[in-house]
Structure formats: C-alpha cells, structure tokens
Amino acid sequence: MKSGSPNAFIDTLYKNKLSQASHLPEPILEEDRQRRRERLADILRIPFSRWSVPPAAEESGGNVPAAIRTELTDCGDYVRERIELETRDGLVMPVYVLLPKSASADQPVPAVLALHGHGYGSRDLVGLTPDGKDVSEGTGIHKHFGLSLVKRGLAVIVPELLGFGERRLTEDSELDESPEDMKNSSCYKLSSYLIHLGETLAGVRTLEALIAADYALARPEIQGDGIGVMGLSGGAFVAYLAGALDERLKAVVLSGYTNTYEDSFFFTKQHCLCDYIPGIVELGDMPDLIGLIAPRSLYLEVGRTDHLFPVEGASKAADTLSKHYERLGAADRFKLDIFEGGHEISGLRSFDWLHKELTGQ
C-alpha cells in the first residue's frame, strides 16, 4: 500500500478507530454491555426506549402497533397472512405471518423473525415469486427458508425491509418492465437521503424489525417470552443489530454476513451503501458488536465459497466470538457451521438448532 495514497489514509483511519475502541471497557459486566448498547442505539438513531407508542395502539396499552390484515391464504398445515404495520412517521411496513394451524391461544407456539437480504423482498422467504405465484421450497439464495421454519411448527414473521420489493421508491418501482425487476432495490437512494437527514437505512430497518417483534409477541397464538431471528446477508445485518439491542431476541442465526471489517468491508469488497453506518467502527470490530448478543444463543452459517463475506474473515470473527462466549460462561450457546456453499442460506443444521433453542425439544 503506497504511503500517502487514499488507500493508506483509509487504512490508517480504520486502524486508529479500532485502536480507540479497544480502550472501551470489555463488555463482560452487564453495565458495560448496556453502555455499549446505548451507544449503538444512538449511532443507529434509535431511541433506546425504542419508539413512542403509535396513536392507534395507545387505547390497548403497551407498545403494540395496530395491524391491518390484507391477505389470508390457507397453505395446508399453516396459514399465510399479509398484514400492514405503521412503524414511524406514517411509514407502513408489509409483513407476512406464517402461522401453524396447531397454534392457538391455548397452545401458543414460538416465533421467528425471518429477515431477507437483497432480492425481491419478503415473498422470497415465504415461497412466492416476485409477482406472488407459488414456487417450490429450497431454491435461490434464501431457499424460501420461512417455509422450512413454519413446517417445524414455528410461527414465522417476515417483514418487507425498507428499500426492497413493494417498499422501493416510487420512481424505482415505476421502472419495472417485468416481475424480475422487483429484484432491483432503492437502497442507494434511501441510504443517501437518510444519511443527509442524520439517519441510516440500517437504523430504520432495525427499528422496524423490533416493531415486528412487538407485534408478534402480542399475538395470543405466539409465546410471549421471547422470539428468535434468522437473516441472510443484509437481513443478517439487521438481525445482529436487533439482537444486540433487544434481549427478547433469545436465539439468533446469522447467515452469510459475520466477518471482520478488514476482510469484508475495506478494499477487497464493496457492499451496498445500506451496509454502512457512520461511526460504527468507534464501537469496535464487527464481532465486538455481534458479541452484545451473548450470552444468548448465536449460530453462524458461513458458506465456504461466499464471495462477499469470505470464510477467512468469518473464521477470525468466529474465533473472537467463541472466546467472548467462553468468558461469559456460555460457550455452549455459540455455534459455527462452515458449509459447502456460497452466499446463501444452508439450513442443514441451523433450522433444527433454532427449533430446539426456541422449544427446548
């Protein structure tokens, strides 16, 4: 790396920020962990109280957003609902709910937040094509993994993340010439606008994921003592941020994301602007922040040939996280699965692991 070059400048700045972060108290004591969470919430522009109660929910009490159901489909062993939640400042988020028919107020089931990455949005996780037609389970990088989870008896909550699918900017969605064009996102524009407004797309997505969790945990058919979360790529990014902030997320699966910043975000790789948060390196490297999930259960899926988040960096991050869990006396709650595949969901072991963590069976 040539001295005085832009590359050297970024490298120096990055190392200086990490050096500063290394002087923060190690997040072993709960009070130190809480301080780092509060700083993370501040960087994300999420009030640590998480949000003000929407007016529509005030009469019922609590932080439960009002929901409008727009679709109900019988899918055999489960039903698929499409609902709309108002999240903040008038913003509406469509959410799929996959609910086993065995679930009831008398026999509630555990739930999982399922978070998609880049693609055509929430339909990709529930077995639908971009234009809403049924498609076989297990295809594409997401493998329609919501179906695999609901078939294990879990309720699955699938929010449409801002910037994808039906939640793109109007000027972007109007360019669609076929359903396949729904795979194009509004991430760059939305990220740019939000940065200019002092916010981030990651922060809005994380807040909305937590609001979806509140909705799920208030449903009588769903157990209210906690929820799991599983995400791929950018969905895993939101999953780890949500898990770091909210201890109700008691089991977390991150697929195709966990790494070090040096190995995945600087020089060798260039990600979507929605993956970048001003100032986040001041709190440490990526595994330092993911470590805020500990001592709750964490499972990492890593494709051996993932071209975006290389296995070498993932292994370094996993080593840091493993030691962190050991220091907290929770080594058995951390799992790493390096599978033969690329930037994609595996599910070979993680689906059953998640089911066991949430049900105890």
Q: Which segments of 22-135 does DSSP mark as H helices, in order? A: 30-43, 55-58
Strands (E), 246-357: 249-255, 297-303, 334-339
Once rounded to an integer, what is the mean pLDDT over residues 19-45? 88
Closest CA to 215 of 205, 204, 227: 227
- Whether 347 shows a pLDDT value over 70: the answer reads yes
pLDDT at position 48 is 67
CA nearest neighbour of 160 among 101, 79, 99, 238:
238
What pLDDT is attached to residue 47? 84
pTM for the whole structure? 0.94
At 2 the pLDDT is 81
**Pick from 288, 283, 294: which is nearest to 327 by CA?**
294
Token pair 């260039």 in the structure block, residue:
270
194-250 pLDDT, tens digit each? 999 999 999 999 999 999 999 999 999 999 999 999 999 999 999 999 999 999 999
Confidence of residue 59 (pLDDT cuts 50, 70, 90): very low
Q: Tell me if 221 sits within 8 A of 99, measured CB to CB.
A: yes
Query: Which domains, and CATH codes, for the chain?
Result: 6-359 (3.40.50.1820)
The pLDDT-based confidence of 50 (bands split at 50, 70, 90) is low
Q: What stretches of the chain adopt beta strand conformation (E)?
A: 67-74, 78-86, 92-100, 111-115, 155-159, 227-232, 249-255, 297-303, 334-339
The predicted pLDDT at position 30 comes to 83
CA distance 361 to 356: 5
**Other CB atoms closer than 10 Å to residue 342's CB: what's the count?**
13
Chain segment 282-310, per-residue pLDDT in tens? 999 999 999 999 999 999 999 999 999 99
Is the model's pLDDT at 106 over the cut of 50? yes
Which letter, b or e, does each residue of 308-323 get, where b requires 16 or more Cβ atoms within 10 Å of its Cβ? Answer: bbbbebbbbbbebbbe
Mean pLDDT of 188-195: 98
**Does position 151 have pLDDT exceeding 80, yes or no?**
yes
Mean pLDDT of 129-149: 92
The Cα–Cα gap between 273 and 281 comes to 15
